[in-house]
Amino acid sequence: MARICDLCGKGSKKAASRSHSKIKTLRRQHPNLQKMDGKMVCTRCMRTAAKHASKATAAAAVVAA
């Protein structure tokens, strides 16, 4: 399983851990992926989807009123 968001394509990045003596040790920073509707989605995309869903329900309520 690749650590890539299925919606935006966000993937892992290379980063460095630094000790007190400034020695660099390379490591990976992975996106925070969660399962949503069977897809691996980063939490930023989940928040964006929730925002658009709430706007859609608010717009539907205004149209219905």
| pTM of the full structure | 0.74
Instruction: Determine contact, residues 24/8, Cβ cutoff 8 Å.
Output: no
The 10s digit of each residue's pLDDT in 11-41 is 999 999 999 999 999 999 999 999 999 999 9
Domain assignment present for 8: no
Q: Give residue 19's Cα distance to chain centre.
A: 29
Domain assignment present for 2: no
CA distance 34 to 24: 30
Domain assignment present for 48: yes
Domain assignment present for 44: yes
Instruction: Determine contact, residues 5/41, Cβ cutoff 8 Å.
Output: yes
Predicted pLDDT of residue 65: 62
Predicted pLDDT of residue 15: 98
Could you give the number of structural domains in the chain? 1
Domain assignment present for 21: yes
Domain assignment present for 65: no
The mean pLDDT value of the chain amounts to: 91
Domain assignment present for 26: yes
Note down the domain range covering 34.
13-59
